Structure 1
């Protein structure tokens, strides 16, 4: 018997992250597989006062529910550490990320996350699939 997959999707406050959630849902092979969706906001980000960002998170929450996942929103100034702690605490074995836009290629988010999470497959979904 196979061990159930535990898949984590990392989202920003953009509706385009819907594709990441749907892509992750396709990785589920059995009803025992679990899907988690997480958004980590820096402490100084006030997304609840920003109508567009609040709407986007509500939209992603609804999409998450349709694929049987819960959307967790956490606050932290150390986004990579917060996600790696979540991965460890929930025994995640797959992490789905969206590729950074071309103007953010210096952002080494995926590499930092890989260095802090062992025995986890990190899947970066290319920008053109958005």
Structure 2
């Protein structure tokens, strides 16, 4: 059976552990890969009141706890960077938290699905679960 590659898109500290638990539940074998991916928009502080270094340390600790790879990028276009990572790493499944945005042009899940030019499963964790 082919190795499954799972990408976990994290944006907020409180949700990342639950998203990672979901991603690990999708693994079918020990050879399957889970990648935590966080993209910081240039000039944004994406972790709210936390210092960026504290937030990155938290992500690193969670990543280490689950034995996953962690990737942190800075980019002007978050959707393009996530799409590029998914393509370059031959991602099969993307795990994300449910978007609070109602408008399609603001909804990260909708925008990412439209930007990726191949069939990838999206596994969305409901807001109630986060």
TM-score interval, smaller chain? 0.7 to 0.9
- Aligned equivalents of 1:126 and 1:47: distance in 2? 21
CA contact (8 A) 1:7 1:24 kept: yes
Deviation of 1:96 (Å): 0.4
Change (3 A) 1:112 1:51: closer
- Aligned equivalents of 1:47 and 1:126: distance in 2? 21
After superposing the two structures, state which structure 1 stretch, 70-79 or 8-17, moved more. 8-17
- Aligned equivalents of 2:102 and 2:81: distance in 1? 22
- Aligned equivalents of 2:12 and 2:71: distance in 1? 12
- Aligned equivalents of 1:11 and 1:58: distance in 2? 14
User: What does residue 124 of structure 1 align with?
Assistant: 124
User: What does residue 9 of structure 1 align with?
Assistant: 8
Deviation of 1:105 (Å): 2.8
User: What does residue 19 of structure 2 align with?
Assistant: 20
Summarize deviations over 1:40-95 as a string: whole Å, max 9, x none: 001112569x6444323311221112222121110011100100000000000000
Summarize deviations over 1:7-49 as a string: whole Å, max 9, x none: 000001423321001110111111110000000001112569x
- Aligned equivalents of 1:94 and 1:52: distance in 2? 30
Give the root-mean-square deviation of aligned CA atoms.
Answer: 1.8
Any unmatched runs of 5+ in structure 2? none
**What is the number of residues matched between the two proteins?**
126
- For normalisation by structure 1, the TM-score amounts to 0.87
Summarize deviations over 1:91-126 as a string: whole Å, max 9, x none: 00000010123xx33332111111122111011110
